[in-house]
Each structure stands twice: as structure tokens, then as C-alpha cells.
Structure 1
Amino acid sequence: MLLTGLALFAFTFFIVLKHQSPATIQWVRDLVPFCPLAHYTGLKCPGCGGTRAYFACLQGDYLQAIRYNIFWIPAAGVLLIEYIHSFLYMIRGNTQPRWWQLVRARTYYGFGMLTVTYMIVRNIWDF
């Protein structure tokens, strides 16, 4: 239920901001706090640029969103898999098929390795 509520909120937020003026979108951007890792160490975390990528998507500029942070594509995939899992869990009750447990575990391990690799590579080659 919580994920459904969050998805509904995100969808509503997307629709509302998609039809707003650039000044309103800039106002929302100003509400987002700075990244402490980047501010204090100068290193970019895997999420750096994610907010700018999100707002570029809201404005329909998907290529610019990829330039800001390409990592949002696999992150969206993991969120989709988790949403499917929650939906299946809700329908089936407390039972999970064995194959789904394996998919989830491998997805999280792979995503964790991808996250660490992306952070290292983006700080070496500065992109």
C-alpha cells in the first residue's frame, strides 16, 4: 500500500510539474538540499545529478537527463522490480515463489556492484 501511495504521489507530482512554468520548476529545484558528499569531499556519488535528470525528464528532455546522470535508468529498473514484487506479495499473501527470491537477490547484488563501479568510474573520468 505504501508503494502504491508513493507511486501515485510521484505520478501526480510529475503531471503537476510537467505543466508548470520554468520559474515554478526552478523554485522546486531550490528546495532540494545539496549533496553533502560532493560538498565536503568533492566526490560525486551515484545519485549526483539525479535531481537534475528528474527535472529534465519532467520537461521532456530525456537526452539531457541521461547526460546529467545515466544511473537513473538502472535505478528505475530496480524500483520497477521492487514494485512488481510488492504487488505479487500483496496478491499471493505471505508466500513468494522461489524463482522470485532468486531474481530479487541477484538484482540487488548486481545493482550494488553497479552502484560502486559507477561511483568509482565517474570520479576517475569526471562525468
Structure 2
Amino acid sequence: MKYKHVFIGIGVCILLSLYYFSNPTEVNFFPKCPFHTLTGFHCPGCGSQRALHQLLHFEIMETLNYNALYILGLGTIIYNTSVNTINKYWNKNYYNILYHPKTPIYIGIIIILFWILRNIDIYPFNILAP
């Protein structure tokens, strides 16, 4: 399909517009977290829809309140895209630490620790819950 990227871009713009104009805390048509619905515990992604809405409104502290891992994930995506773009278009050869063999292990540990800690109902861990 020749225009696949155009359709993906249009879809992303529509989705971002939906999250910009509709607050997930005030409307019920956004999907609920199946893990939280079934168990009552927060998964690492819980609060991401509300965090996206706040981020689109440049409310960084509110974004962190809903899901602190969200900002770290976006930073990782920005870092990876930047290094790959610089290497490709400026003919550089910067090392991308995300391609180190142990990086997925470290990222997995961070996600699992965040998952566990945000479900402990004792201060200061309870501030990680959305």
C-alpha cells in the first residue's frame, strides 16, 4: 500500500485530537484497563490515557501523577528516534544504548519494580498509583 504512512499519520492525529478534546476522567467511551478491572491492582500502564490527555495540555506534573513511567517511556522514544535520525541523515555513528544487550533487562526490572511499588498502599509508594 503506497500511502500507508499517510493513513497512519491521519489516524494518529485523529486519536491525539480525541485525547486532547476528551478528558478520560470525564467520559466513559475510552477503554478501561482489563488488568485493573479484573484484579483491582494497577498495571504499569494504568493512568496512561489520563496522562496523555494531561501531556497534550502541557500539564507535566499531572502527567507524572497519573503515570510517572509515561514520561520515562516518552523520553526513551525521543532518545531512540533522535539517535537513529542523527545517524541516518548526518552520517554519524553514535552508539544507541538502547541496543545494548542488557538494556531490555534493565527496562524490564524498572517496569516490574514500578508495577509492584505502585500497588503498595503505604506512603511514599501510594503516590505512584494513578
Give the SS at the match of 2:68.
Answer: coil
Higher mean displacement: 47-56 or 60-69? 60-69
Please state how far the C-alpha of 1:50 moved relative to its aligned partner: 1.0
Asked if the contact 1:17/1:58 (under 8 Å) is kept, the reply is no
Asked if the contact 1:56/1:65 (under 8 Å) is kept, the reply is yes
Please state how far the C-alpha of 1:109 moved relative to its aligned partner: 2.4
Distance across 2 between alignment mates of 1:81 and 1:48:
23
Q: What letter corresponds to residue 103 of structure 2 in structure 1?
A: T
Asked if the contact 1:35/1:48 (under 8 Å) is kept, the reply is yes
What CA deviation, in whole Å up to 9, does each residue of 1:71-96 have, x standing for no partner? 1121112212332355367559xxxx
Distance across 2 between alignment mates of 1:8 and 1:75:
23
Cross-structure match for 2:119? 123
Q: 1:77 to 1:107 in 2, by over 3 A?
A: farther
Cross-structure match for 2:32? 34
Q: 1:110 to 1:54 in 2, by over 3 A?
A: same
Distance across 2 between alignment mates of 1:84 and 1:6:
20
Cross-structure match for 2:22? 25
Cross-structure match for 1:81? 79
The structure richer in helix per residue is 1
Please state how far the C-alpha of 1:64 moved relative to its aligned partner: 1.3
Task: Give percent identity, aligned residues only.
Answer: 21
Asked if the contact 2:55/2:63 (under 8 Å) is kept, the reply is yes
Distance across 2 between alignment mates of 1:10 and 1:82:
19
Structure 2 spans left out of the alignment, 5+ residues:
none
Structure 1 spans left out of the alignment, 5+ residues:
none
Q: TM-score, normalised by structure 2?
A: 0.64
Aligned positions, number: 117
Higher mean displacement: 51-60 or 104-113? 104-113
Asked if the contact 1:78/1:107 (under 8 Å) is kept, the reply is no
Distance across 1 between alignment mates of 2:82 and 2:69:
20
